[in-house]
Structure 1
Amino acid sequence: MSLVVVGAPGDRRPALFAAACRAAGLPEPRLIAWTDVLRGAPLALEAGDLVRVDSPGGDPETDVLLRGPGEPARVGGGARWYRTFTAALRRLSAAVSQAGARLLGDVEEIAVMFDKRLAHARLLAAGVPVPVALPGVDGYTALRSRMDETGERRVFVKPAHGSSASGVVALQTAPGRVRAVTSAFMAGDRLVNALRVRSYASEEEVAALIGLLAPDGLHVERWLPKATLDGRVFDLRVVVIGGEPTHAVARTSRTPMTNLHLGGARGDLGAVQRALGEDGWRRALDVCARAASCFPGSLMVGVDLLVGAGLKRFAVCEVNAFGDLLPGLTGLPGGPAEGIDTYAAQVRASLPGIRCTT
């Protein structure tokens, strides 16, 4: 048996997974580059191989194959990215089956997690708490119409296939006023990802912003007020491995976006646990486990959990197929991954009997 990782050469995840394998006394996994999969090249797979599918992000050449030529920092191209990516997943699955190898994850579930509309619908059907969605939004006019119909004044507008908050807009409206907060910078007739969150406050600008995002598909959700920690709003990224929540990080921010690369910071998880109390913390982890159970063929699911103001309500706003990039974070005390990182925990869960250390 050999371990194989399908990943992008510029991404950190394959290297971190390989380090976890070495720590467990396993041979170095072979790397198959996403560029080879996307080009349809023959893949070096053998009978008995265990194949881990990792993120295609972090490599400019891979991005060109997925979205087409253009500036890597641009927002957009998500619809093409999704079509190309899911077609490649299907080819990979067929190649694995033909070789007599085995995937450590379900490619169809990965595809669902990369479509926010499909993922939201699956969670909702399973009774997992999620923010109310506003369907059928294909532009700014439709967005304002749906908001008026439902009485919503605060929503999150998300590209259907985006990640890392790319193109996400936190929109607030009031009579005669509108304000959109986003990391997308409007440069003429195109959008570029920035590492600084900015605001747009004119109807013309906000309409143009939503208009640039709409062609790739939109998912719109009610903006639920978040709980605060030391004056900063927060949410939780909880990693669920083998059906059990193993790792968690509190993400805090002074803006609606808590992503760490947009100025968010890791908060005091212990303070969150104390604020929620034993029962509240248990309920939070239970919601995350229920969300992950909607994807039973996935060894790992990263769950983004909203904690409502007042610390009584929870809602899942995202599920992430590659949500395990939390370097240096060890597992929850008393849990099955105590003392080890997310990658070592996945090695242990996929290969019972393996002893993992960090």
Structure 2
Amino acid sequence: MPVPGDRSVHGRLTVVGNPDNRRVRLFTEAATGAGLPRPAVLPWRDLLTGATPPPAGTLVRVDSPGEDAEVDRLLRGAAEPARHGEIVGTAAAHAGLRRALDRLASGGATLLNQPADIVTMCDKRRCHAVLDAAGVPVPAALGEVTGYADLRAAMRRAGWSRVFVKPAHGSSASGVLAFAADRSRVVATTPVERAEGRLFNSLRVRRYTDEAEVAEIVDRLAPDALHVERWLPKAGLGDRVVDLRVVVVAGRPTHAVVRAGRGPITNLHLGNARATWRRCARRPVRPTGRRRWRPARGWRRVSRTRCTSPST
């Protein structure tokens, strides 16, 4: 990030993003608030339809291409946009993103987000492998799973009765199933909605107990690649389960978001609660007692909210 007073970079900061998106707006406000000129915006639509990438001497921030139906269509190389919330073509969208980032880098600009890192973060299999290789504890994962029958067979070989089934390329719990099975019963907890022969990412978590319905969902998701992890119990807090989302800046954790839900999927856009702490010293957030959660010394609580609408 350029620093105020460095006139050599003023006027050469560009954001690749969707111009109307809140992320672009908030970054623009942060840059101008820091005394920098207003960043230029290169729309994803333009980059994907032949716009010249920024040249050498430009600092480029790559923002999310999400939440724009036309950008999604272009990334997938599809003839028609997907319907709102439809889960479709995730592997094609990831391949399109990779090509777009390669083209962006070819212009010679200095990218503040490295394409290889973005590609890895948008592929759960790669991200899992990178974290594991770095010594970060991660749940054990199954290998390639090609469909529902293959999933059940892999679970039996591993001796697992509960797993999280996740599309390899996705976010916001889109397509995720918390799946439990024994010999006579299956339960899939998921925000996936089946409608008109399509799959949608909805805001209502459902429980599917009909094995044929679960098999159909998994089989429809599998061609775009799946990442399957062992389902480990989450910490309990009162009548909820919780997990942590930790923001790390320059190798140092700075914010911890506690996400609390009444089911195994705690994503905030599904109406779950959160509390956020900001780090002030080198001490971690920790649980205290069975029904209270508060920061250790050096952390300050900055928010507690309940999300009741999608982060769109």
TM-score bin, normalised by smaller chain: 0.7 to 0.9
Partner in structure 1 of residue 159 of structure 2: 151
Q: How does 1:135-146 map to 2 (within 5 A)?
A: 135-146=143-154
**Matching of residues 79-90 of structure 1 within 5 Å:** 79-90=91-102
Q: 1:180-206 CA distances to partner (integer Å, 9 max, x unpaired)?
A: 011110114210111111110011111
Instruction: Return closer, same or farther for 1:242/1:262 CA change in 2, 3 Å cut-off.
Output: same
1:35 matched to 2:48: no
Structure 2 unaligned blocks of 5 or more? 1-8, 291-295, 303-312
Are 2:98 and 2:119, in contact at CA under 8 Å, matched by a contact in 1? yes
Kept in 1, the 8 Å contact 2:275–2:301? The answer is no
- Aligned equivalent of 2:16: 6
State the partner residue of 2:197: 189
Cα-to-partner distance string for 1:259-284 (whole Å, 9 max, x where unaligned): 111111113759xx9xxxx97x37x8
Structure 2 distance, partners of 1:176, 1:268, is 41
The partner residue of 1:59 within 65, 68, 72 is 68
Secondary structure of 1:141's counterpart equals helix
Structure 1 equivalent of residue 273 of structure 2? 265
Going from structure 1 to structure 2, the CA distance change for 1:268 and 1:93 (only over 3 Å counts) comes to closer
Aligned partner letter, 1:152: W
Does residue 91 of the first structure (1) align with residue 126 of the second (2)? no
- Greater percentage in strand: 2
TM superposition shift of 1:4: 0.8
The structure-2 alpha-carbon separation of the partners of 1:126 and 1:47, relative to structure 1 and needing over 3 Å to count, comes to: closer
TM-score after normalising by structure 2: 0.84
Deviation larger for 83-92 or 3-12: 3-12
The answer to whether residue 99 in structure 2 is matched with residue 71 in structure 1 is no
Match of 2:216 among 201, 208, 211: 208
Deviations 1:60-115 (A, max 9, x none): 221111232221310121011011110001000111x1xxx311121011101111
Name 1:17's counterpart in structure 2.
27
Q: Is the 8 A contact 2:193 2:201 kept in 1?
A: yes
CA contact (8 A) 1:9 1:59 kept: no
Matching residue's letter, 1:21: A
TM-score (norm 1): 0.73
Residues 259-298 of structure 1 correspond to what in structure 2 (within 5 A)?
A: 259-267=267-275, 281=284
1:87-166 equivalent positions in 2, closer than 5 A: 87-95=99-107, 97=108, 101-166=109-174
Q: Distance in 2 between matches of 1:28 and 1:10?
A: 15
Aligned equivalents of 1:104, 1:115: Cα separation in 2: 20
Figure out how many residues of one structure are paired with residues of the other and give that number: 280
Please report how far the alpha carbon of residue 55 of structure 1 lies from its aligned counterpart in structure 2 after TM superposition: 0.3
- List runs of 5+ in structure 1 lacking aligned partners: 285-306, 311-331, 340-358
Deviation at 1:165, TM superposition (A): 0.8
- Quote how far apart the aligned CAs of 1:242 are: 1.4
Between the aligned partners of 2:162 and 2:235, the Cα distance in structure 1 is 16
Whole-angstrom CA distance in 2 between matches of 1:72 and 1:63: 11
**Secondary structure of the structure 2 residue equivalent to 1:148:** helix
- After TM superposition, the structure 1 = structure 2 runs for residues 227-246 of structure 1, keeping only pairs within 5 Å, are 227-246=235-254
Determine what percentage of the aligned residue pairs are the same residue.
Answer: 51
**How far apart are residue 338 of structure 1 and its match?**
11
Q: Distance in 2 between matches of 1:161 and 1:268?
A: 27
The 1-side partners of 2:68 and 2:98 are apart by: 18
1 or 2, which has the higher helix percentage? 1
Aligned-partner SS, 1:267 = strand
Question: Displacement of 1:334 after TM fit?
Answer: 5.2
Cα RMSD of the aligned pairs, angstroms, is 2.5
Tell whether the 8 Å contact from 2:194 to 2:200 is kept in structure 1 after alignment: yes
Measure, in 2, the Cα distance between the counterparts of 1:159 and 1:265: 24
